[in-house]
Amino acid sequence: MKNTIRFGWAETDITPKEKIALDGEFFERATTEVETPITVTALAIEADGEQTVICSCDVVSISAELTAAVRAKIGDVGLDPDKIILASVHIHNSYTYRHKGPFEKEKIKSLDIIQTYMPKDCVYIPQVTSGDCMDPDAAFDYLADAIAKTIVRAWQNRSEGGYATGFGRAAVGMNRRVCYSDGTAKMWGDADTATFTELEAGNDNGVELMFVYDKAGKLTGVVANIACPAQVMEQRSVISSDYWGKVKILLRQKYGSDLFLLPLCAAAGDQCPRDLIRWVEPETPIKDPNIIRPEPKTRRADPSMFDVGGTWKIGKRVFCEIETALGEVGTIETSAVHRHLKKDLVLPLRRVTDTEYKEAKDKIEAFFKGRKELDYNDSAALYVYTGTMQRYAAQELYATVTAEVHVVRFGPLAFVTNPFELFLNYGNRIRARSLAEQTFLIQLSNGCLSYLPTEAAEKHGHYSAYVSSGYVGHEGGDLLVDASLDAVASLFDDRT
């Protein structure tokens, strides 16, 4: 039967056996300590003459270079490499691996700029000893191999099955940009001040769900899509799968140790697992100066969303919603319309003005005047200005950047990907206007083009909205929304 669905699952434990440098923060972290294992999970779908493989990885991001390396390793197994979707849950407690930006021919790097202006007698004082950590090149090769093998196993494990859809609501993601009366905003800004006016945007507590069954009707796996990165533990120097690891533990306790979980992060560039209004202090000190509160009040709210207790709190919330939705499943569908569209979307590069360039140059020169030492605290301060100067050099050679986008129709569902830390409002616009009954949004997929902020965020400024925080601005965001919706409409044209 043409529309028979064949699903295949595979999971690989990628927990390191040696010390690794952790990716995702401005300060250095290196560890062998494991809080929960980290994994790569793939779901292969074959139906209606079409192919899709979605692979969720416990890493901070998936670069275009890593995507290409994985596809090159797939081999002759009957799977079109262009039908592979690689996504990260954006944890900050996993491997640092070799990562090139989109302008590989552009030789001016932030490090080059720092070295140009840094006095010759100025030295860097490292926070941790990372010389005995896994090399970033070795980490890249290991991840590419592990991900490719997981995808191949999922593809080879295909067998007849069915699916059902579900929906839940869980308080996970909240906006992390605080606005002030002077027209500015800050990521992780302190809201306990008379100048606080509002959070810059809202949040999305929806949990999009798809349940996968074998031919006998046994549940084999859960696909869950939430608009929040897995970053409760981001400040901690441990290897961790964060709240998704706890969801998996709870699901396997209830439904069997062979159950798979495919976690997907929706548009969440301005989202976090912390309530900035009901601020709850970390259990032990953290190093990010943006998060440190001078005289924090005691609040009756969530447990610390910087610590393990927070991952369990969120994990239980998500598990309960999945459990409830499973109890509401009616018919298990065994056939589906399946369409898969891959597009290379050309978007305008967000440009640095001459004024921004001059300001950045002046700031760097002033920063290094008389300086003898650098440490991790200087990284964030320099990031804004070196990134601006790097971009200014790049825009002399490039006017656009290419974003790989996938749109998949599977029955009444749409899966829509992008390679950005996409601000929530773009995702809201796609979901609200999509022709699909449910739209699964997958950010940081098949590339890492950093933040894509809204126009309001660009005006308010600060990290995640600086021109150095990403490659594309709100004009490109509008084009991404329109192109995604057009692609969805083309795959659901029988409903128009």
- Residue 417: band (very low, low, confident or very high) from pLDDT cuts 50, 70, 90: very high
Please check the confidence at residue 126 and state whether its pLDDT lies above 90. Answer: no
% pLDDT > 70, the chain: 96
User: How many residues comprise the chain?
Assistant: 496
Please check the confidence at residue 54 and state whether its pLDDT lies above 80. Answer: yes
Q: Rounded mean pLDDT of the chain?
A: 94
Tokens at residue 37, please?
């294992």
Largest Cα separation within the chain, whole Å, is 75
pLDDT in tens, 208-233: 999 999 999 999 999 999 999 999 99
Q: Return the pLDDT at 456.
A: 98
Angle between helical axes of 64-72 and 136-156 (0-180°, round to 10): 50
Residue 230 CA to residue 95 CA, distance in Å, equals: 15
Cα dihedral 242, 245, 250, 251 sign: positive
- Residue 496: band (very low, low, confident or very high) from pLDDT cuts 50, 70, 90: very low
Task: Give the residue-averaged pLDDT of 14-43.
Answer: 94
Contacts of 470 (CB under 8 A, 6+ apart): 350, 420, 421, 449, 450, 451, 452, 453, 464
Domain ranges of the chain: 6-103+133-344+400-495
CB 147 within 8 A of CB 57: yes
pTM for this entry: 0.96
Contacts of 31 (CB under 8 A, 6+ apart): 19, 20, 22, 237, 238, 239
Tokens at residue 80, please?
């079109």
Backbone dihedral angles phi then psi of residue 337, each to the nearest 5 degrees:
-70, 135
Which string of DSSP letters, residue by residue, matches 410-449?
A: ETTEEEEE-SSEE-HHHHHHHHHH-SSSEEEEE-SBSS--
- Residue 117: band (very low, low, confident or very high) from pLDDT cuts 50, 70, 90: confident
pLDDT in tens, 286-315: 888 888 998 999 999 999 999 999 999 999
